[in-house]
Structure 1
Amino acid sequence: MNQPTHPTTEPTSAMTPARKAPRIRHNDYSVLTPPEIGSWRPHMRVSIVIAVYGHQEKLDLTLAALAAQSYPSHLMEVIVVDDGTSPPLRLPDLVPENIRLLRTEPGSRGRSNARNTALAVAEGDVVHWLDGDMVPHHDEVEAHMRWHHLADYLVVMGYVRYVEEELPTPAEVHAAVAAGAADKLFDYAASEPHKWIVDLAERTDGLRNAKDMAYRVHITNAASVNARLLRAAGPLETELVLGEDTELGYRLAQHGAAFVLEPAARSWHLGRSMMMRDGDNVSRYNRVFVPDRVAHMRWQRTHPRRQWLVPYLEVVVHAEGASYEDTRATVDGVLAGTLHDLRVTLVGPWSSLTEDRRTPQHSPNIDLLLVHGLYRNDGRVRYVEEVGPSAAPTPYRLICPPGWVPGPETLRKLVAFASEHGHGLVSVALDETDVVVAARLEHTGAFARARIVAEPGEDLDDVVDDVAGTYWVDGESWGFLPASEAPEPRLSGSGHATPRPEDVAVRREAARLRAENERLARRVAQLTDELARLRQARGSARRRLPILRPRSRRL
């Protein structure tokens, strides 16, 4: 088989290994400059994964095009997974150099299972998903890989056009692709683009300002992913029959991925997509199953009180060492707020708790026992011994000290503020009497990326500031109160846990009085200092005055 020769020039400056990992802020990958196609020497391996059911004639064209790629054949492996075709698929004569054909088992079929079968044996540094009805252009793989050589946390999406024409032969495809003339195989004017991706690219400067929505371009007919990142995020979700690539893209984002649109990575899609053929029914199906796992689909999570498999916010409270009353006040305040799409994680030595069976009120660790008993049947609360470094796949995590209570609107507004401005960390100053007591709202994806690019010994918050930004706010201004001052949530007439109007009024008045007291205290301190200075100055003046003695008068 003839393999096109890849240029063997030395790496350009863009490809010279950097001492530090590049730091992409949000999704603005403008900091990366890929080399010109054909002007660099690659070294990374790529596993091209093709999950396919039926359509042998289209698969033959896909493999013929892959046999004519500009990317070096010794750095490419192709893994085809037959997802239960009858009669089974076969490898044709015209195929890439390194290729394997696998088959799924009858009890584990579906697109996700098929791709996961390939993923389990893939050896590449990058996994490139392709469908079995694609004809990639001559430099399609190279266009993907030039980005992956620059950073190890990228997802790259190519551009696809959909055609419905009489199919050429595998030999014709191979010859055209090898000659760099794949655009001549089909009528461009009669083809259709992946319209919503083109529209998204136009609205977001090629995803550079897409923020948390960039994950949506991960589509497994023409995307590539760093293999380490992919394995960290986990394989495709086999419980999803459709929308599994969107869900995986979302999880990749929570593990620090940046998403790149590459117009030079071009492919023909042989036939219209399922969304083009049956969009209404596909969307109807996806609206039920996908938002349960993709917390950023806020436009789909419109019910005011529903709970979801993957919550939007995790609130972490470390209960050990805190009183039962303080922990309860914090958790009750969280659960009574207007942001219901959340989960509370209580951290403590739960497995080692023991209860006195005769006088339980005097049990060791009685406060922890009471906390454990109070929420153990609440599905929104979980108990853990340790909390991991990441909240993934939940996109936000709030770490709140026990004894500090958010107001009804606090969490909803705080997360909305962080999301609107793209902050990776919002620190909430709660008390500054002796030391600063603060709550922390962390963006999961920003912290994941910071861990990827941080240098040894570098403060992680500083790196988060580089990749997403950090911000401080005043807790009282955002509705946080100490437990001793926070009103207890009560059921309103509608049955909702809402503070009574008189409680809200009292809290506001208390906040006003506290502020006034603090102002007066500062003024008293200023006056006291001024009085001390005046007294000192008066004493000094007395010491400097001459002693005047009255003269005696002679009579």
Structure 2
Amino acid sequence: MTLRDGAGAPPQGGAQPLVRRNDWGSLAPPALGEWTPRLSVSVVVPTYAARATLPYVLAGLAAQSYPAHLLEVVVVDDGNSPPVELPDVRPERTRVVRVESGWGRANACHTGALAGDGEVIHWLDSDMLVFREHVEAQLRWHHLVDYTVVLGTKRFVDPAPLLERDPADVRDLVAAGRADELWDWDAGEPHKWVEGMWRRTGDLTEAGPRAFRAHVGATGSLTRALYDDAGGMDTALILGEDMELGHRLAEAGGVLVPEHAARAWHLGRSHVMEKKDDVNRHNDSFLANLVPGMRPKRNLHGRTYDVPYLEVVVDAPPSDELIHCVDAVLDSTLDDLRVVLPGSWHELHDGRRSPLADPLLDLRIVERTYRHDPRVELVPGVPPGRCRSSFRLTLDSTAWAPTPVALQAMLDDLERTHEGTRIIRRVGRLDRTAAVSRVARALGQVSDDGLDAAFGLQVLASSQAGFVPTAERDVPRHEGKLKPPVDPAESRARLAADLGSPGDGHVHDAAVGDDVRDRQDGERRGLFGRRL
């Protein structure tokens, strides 16, 4: 192979091409067979109860067009009994790694990733027979930038005819570029759910930040650097680990590329295809807590989640104004958020002091106000590294506070446009985590120009973003005046009015105090059409 027109050359000077959103069409990979690879790859094959298909998976890998000296295969034995033994037909650099702790695909994949030496990690399930150019087709993208995540394509077929053949014959057929003779590609069953997303979004080039909803793990690859930066597989997950990892790869700045030239035969139907409803029931619970982007799986109100959708950083001196500002944030129609309050909380002590002349009184009042609020974190400083939420709102001052609908409306705007940043004059800024990570990874430093180029940036006045002076932002409270009892019949009539007349199909928010009712003014709908 020869390098053509600089294709496959490493980025110079540490800078890389900056891909906008998920429009990977701005990258130009070399033609298959017309370039010189340089990156090493570890093909990680997690295997459990796949004794019948594994020999054919390894036979296909033994016939790859990617240079053999750059390719190793790590077969991960996930507790098989008897243990996995390698067949005669296999790539030259193939070894078995036994899982010593834990179980499941995520744990096995992570075990293999740690054991591998490759600069690129290529996942391949133990029921996937790949075509000759499968690895090469995926690896060419990783030679352009280090933040692509590449998916192969597949057709589900009945493996019975294959299992009667000698793996050596299958290897030779793949090496000759004739893997398509094993079955009829057009007659094979496609991965309809995934390929439907590809088709509707121009092979994900128009999918924007949500592209990684299509991240499924039967065959895919990414650089080790991106894998490590994203935090690796969540080994506690038994199902849905690929979608959860996809979320964190997006947040780390990744671009998802579907590679149609990386073809494979999937030997049998998938677990999801056989038990779709059961898998979805399981994943809806486990993944909704970890993936903010799964908005339809999260309740609109009343729940908090392990990973909040929005993080709000209020880095300001302790004061009554700070409390009023934070209360306004918590009063938002968006419940799926967490407030981060940096401060010198370690200075607080329980020693004798004057309650009102305490020099730490303001700090103490703020700490006591939010100590037990599950949506507020008292931290020593702004958490380093990447924001854990999909969005971060950084308030420069507590003089301005959001109206109840402002935060949800701003996020809906960013979701509709796929843009990354809103700078709000006199208030602060709202940044998409994926946009910040993309710019940092590609350009080495984050700037507003870079964010605009990567995802899009708009500057708004405070009123355009729904912010008002904090002193003018009223957060409703319960009524506390002492009153004589109301006649029970009159009270029941008010109760009926609060709940709505029977049969009218409408239920009002029951107001403990009448001062709360005006919060229902102006019904809105969110991005997915659900009422706010």
User: What TM-score bracket applies, with the shorter chain setting the length?
Assistant: 0.7 to 0.9
Q: Would the aligned equivalents of 2:421 and 2:429 in 1 still touch at CA under 8 Å? A: yes
8 Å CA contact retained: 1:345, 1:382: yes
1:12 maps to 2:12: no
> Secondary structure at the residue paired with 1:450?
helix
Q: Which residue number in structure 2 is paired with residue 46 of structure 1?
A: 41
Q: Does structure 1 residue 469 correspond to structure 2 residue 469?
A: no
- For the pair 1:428 / 2:432, whether they are aligned, the reply is no
Query: How do residues 227-242 of structure 1 correspond to structure 2 at under 5 angstroms?
Result: 227-242=224-239
Q: In the alignment, which residue of structure 2 is the partner of 1:451?
A: 440
Partner of 2:191: 194
Cα deviation, 1:146-183, whole Å, max 9, x if unaligned, reads 11100110100010111114223211210111001111
User: C-alpha deviations, 1:397-453, integer Å up to 9, x for none?
Assistant: 001122321111010101111121122110111xxxxxxx23110100000011011
Q: Is the 8 A contact 2:312 2:340 kept in 1?
A: yes
Distance 1:466 1:498, change over 3 A: farther
* Contact 1:314 1:391 (8 Å CA) reproduced: no
- In structure 2, the partner of 1:299 is 296
State whether residues 356 and 363 of structure 1, in contact with CA within 8 Å, keep that contact through their aligned partners in structure 2: no
Closer, same or farther: CA 173–498 of 1 in aligned 2, 3 Å? farther
Contact 1:137 1:182 in 2 (8 A): yes
Higher RCO (CA-CA < 8 Å; seq separation 6+): 2
Alignment match, 1:205: 202
2:84 maps to 89
CA drift at 1:355? 5.5
**Distance change in 2, residues 1:471/1:73 (3 Å):** same
Q: Work out the CA distance in 2 between the residues paired with 1:497 and 1:288.
A: 35
Select which of 373, 376, 385 maps to 1:378: 373
The separation in 2 between residues aligned to 1:469 and 1:74, in whole angstroms, is: 42
Q: Which residue of 2 aligns with 1:485?
A: 472
Q: Which residue of 2 aligns with 1:440?
A: 429
1:28 aligns with 2:15: no
Contact 2:386 2:437 in 1 (8 A): no
Aligned residue for 1:221? Answer: 218
Task: Identify if the C-alpha distance between structure 1 residues 498 and 123 changes in structure 2 by more than 3 Å, giving closer, same or farther.
Answer: farther
Within the candidate set 481, 489, 510, 1:494 is matched to 510
Which position in structure 2 is the counterpart of 1:419? Answer: 415
Name the SS of the counterpart of 2:297 in structure 1.
Answer: coil
Task: Indicate how the Cα distance of structure 1 residues 12 and 491 shifts in structure 2: closer, same or farther if over 3 A, else same.
Answer: farther
CA pair 192-491 structure 1, distance change in 2 beyond 3 A: farther
Q: Which has the larger radius of gyration?
A: 1
Alpha-carbon distance between aligned partners in 1 of 2:512 and 2:117, rounded to the nearest angstrom: 54
Determine the C-alpha separation between the residues in 1 that align with 2:93 and 2:307: 39
Sequence identity percentage: 41
- Greater mean alpha carbon deviation, residues 408-417 or residues 159-168: 159-168
Letter in 2 for 1:138: R
Contact map agreement 2:138 2:150 (CA 8 A) in 1: yes
In structure 1, distance between residues paired with 2:400 and 2:436? 24
Measure, in 1, the Cα distance between the counterparts of 2:421 and 2:512: 31
The answer for the alignment partner of 1:3 in structure 2 is none
**AA paired with 1:15?**
G
**Partner of residue 163, structure 1:** 157
Look up the SS of the partner of 2:299 in the other structure.
coil
Match of 1:283 in 2: 280
Equivalent AA in structure 2 for residue 358 of structure 1? R
1:183 to 174, 180, 183: 180
Question: What SS does the corresponding residue of 2:46 show, helix, strand or coil?
Answer: strand
Count matched residues: 486
Consecutive unaligned residues in structure 1, runs of 5 or more = 1-6, 430-436, 506-555
Quick one: structure 1 residues 496 and 350, their matched pair in 2 at CA, closer, same or farther if it must change by over 3 Å? farther
Can you list the C-alpha shifts for 1:175-223, whole angstroms capped at 9, x where unaligned? 1110011111123344211111211111000000101221122222101
State the distance in 1 between where 2:311 and 2:363 align.
20
Q: How far apart, CA to CA, are the structure 1 residues paired with 2:512 and 2:242?
A: 38
**Kept after mapping to 2: 8 A contact 1:491/1:497:** yes
Instruction: Report the equivalent of 2:494.
Output: none
2:407 alignment partner AA: L
Match runs of 1:51-90 below 5 Å: 51-90=46-85
Paired residue for 1:404? 400
Q: Contact conserved, 1:355 with 1:363, CA < 8 A, in 2?
A: no
1:145-164 pair list within 5 angstroms: 145-164=139-158
1:316 deviates by 0.5
Report the Cα distance in structure 2 between the residues aligned to 1:13 and 1:47, rounded to whole angstroms. 24
The residue matched to 2:111 in structure 1 has which SS? Answer: helix
Moved more, 161-170 or 127-136: 161-170
Contact 2:440 2:446 in 1 (8 A): no
Residue 57 of structure 1, CA deviation: 2.2
Displacement, 1:124? 1.2
Alpha carbons of 1:498 and 1:232: their partners in 2 closer, same or farther (altered >3 Å)? farther
The whole-number CA distance in structure 2 between the counterparts of 1:310 and 1:497 is 33
Partner residue of 1:349?
344
The CA distance in 1 between the partners of 2:349 and 2:215, in whole Å, is 49
1:425, 1:464 within 8 Å by CA — same for their partners in 2? yes
| Alpha-carbon separation, structure 1, partners of 2:514 and 2:449 | 38
Residues of 2 paired with 1:410 and 1:447: CA distance? 22
- Kept in 1, the 8 Å contact 2:59–2:171? The answer is yes
CA-CA distance at 1:388 after TM superposition? 3.2
Residues 333 and 489, structure 1, Cα contact 8 Å, conserved in 2: no
Secondary structure (helix, strand or coil) at the match of 2:108 reads helix
Corresponding position of 1:251: 248
* Structure 2 match to 1:261: 258
Task: Give the match's secondary structure for 1:118.
Answer: helix
User: 1:491 deviation in Å?
Assistant: 4.5
Q: 1:315 aligns with which of 309, 312, 326?
A: 312
Name the SS for the 1:56 alignment partner: coil
Q: Are the counterparts in 1 of residues 65 and 132 from structure 2 also a CA contact under 8 Å?
A: yes
| Contact 1:314-1:398 at 8 Å conserved across structures | yes
| TM-score, scaled relative to structure 2 | 0.87
Residue identity in the other structure for 2:84: L
Answer with 353-362 or 66-75: which moved more.
353-362
State the alpha-carbon separation in 1 of the partners of residues 300 and 406 from structure 2: 19
| Structure 1 match to 2:526 | none
Shift of 1:336: 0.8
- Match of residue 116 from structure 1: 110
Aligned twin of 2:122: 128
Distance 1:10 1:496, change over 3 A: farther
Is residue 487–residue 499 contact of structure 1 (8 Å, CA) maintained in 2? no
SS at match of 2:222: strand
Aligned counterparts of 1:380 and 1:263: Cα–Cα separation in 2: 44
CA–CA separation in structure 1 for the residues paired with 2:73 and 2:96: 9
Q: Using the alignment, how far apart are the partners of 1:438 and 1:403 within structure 2?
A: 8
Give the match for residue 134 of structure 2: 140
How far apart are the structure 2 equivalents of 1:459 and 1:419? 21
1:123-153, CA deviations, whole angstroms, 9 ceiling, x for partnerless residues?
A: 2111100001111100000000011100110
Q: Distance in 1 between matches of 2:107 and 2:188?
A: 31
**Alpha-carbon contact 1:487-1:503 (below 8 Å) kept:** no
Q: Secondary structure at the match of 1:345?
A: strand
